[in-house]
């Protein structure tokens, strides 16, 4: 069975998490390891990760203060992850409200397309 979200967000199954274990997957994996997960690249993006974690901690503190110590980590963890990915992929440090707006658009698309749980 074909799922529209899988096709759309995986570029027709041409991403590392959607393609089958074959030469294409091996090539994509090699690219990720060499260009994103190498020790040089990890050092290069340390400040990006530090800023994202600082934002995450501040958001969690604010949420805890406003909700009697209760926080919903999923939303804030997605936010921090997205900040890191945008900075690594596009070299941008986006304002928080823009990141939240993009996250909302992605959620709306996924809901509209009736995704599978793992999508």
* Confidence at residue 108, expressed as pLDDT on a 0 to 100 scale: 82
* Confidence at residue 11, expressed as pLDDT on a 0 to 100 scale: 60
Task: Please tell me the distance from the alpha carbon of residue 84 to that of residue 61, in angstroms, as a whole number.
Answer: 20
* Confidence at residue 58, expressed as pLDDT on a 0 to 100 scale: 95
Q: What percentage of the chain carries pLDDT values higher than 70?
A: 80
Q: Could you tell me the pTM of the whole model?
A: 0.66
Return the closest-CA partner of residue 102 out of 89, 2, 60: 89
Beta-carbon neighbour count of residue 3 at 10 Å? 15
**pLDDT tens-place string over residues 19-61:** 777 888 888 888 888 877 888 888 988 999 999 999 999 999 9
* Confidence at residue 14, expressed as pLDDT on a 0 to 100 scale: 65
* Confidence at residue 6, expressed as pLDDT on a 0 to 100 scale: 63
């Amino acid at each position: 069975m074909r799922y529209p979200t899988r096709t759309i967000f995986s570029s027709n199954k041409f991403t590392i998490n959607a393609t089958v274990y074959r030469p294409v997957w091996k090539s994509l994996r090699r690219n990720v390891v060499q260009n994103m997960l190498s020790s040089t690249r990890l050092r290069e993006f340390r400040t990006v990760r530090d800023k994202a974690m600082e934002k995450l901690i501040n958001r969690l503190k604010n949420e805890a203060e406003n909700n009697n110590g209760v926080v919903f980590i999923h939303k804030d963890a997605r936010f921090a992850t997205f900040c890191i990915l945008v900075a690594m992929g596009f070299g941008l440090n986006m304002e928080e409200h823009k990141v939240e707006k993009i996250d909302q658009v992605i959620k709306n698309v996924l809901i509209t397309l009736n995704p599978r749980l793992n999508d």
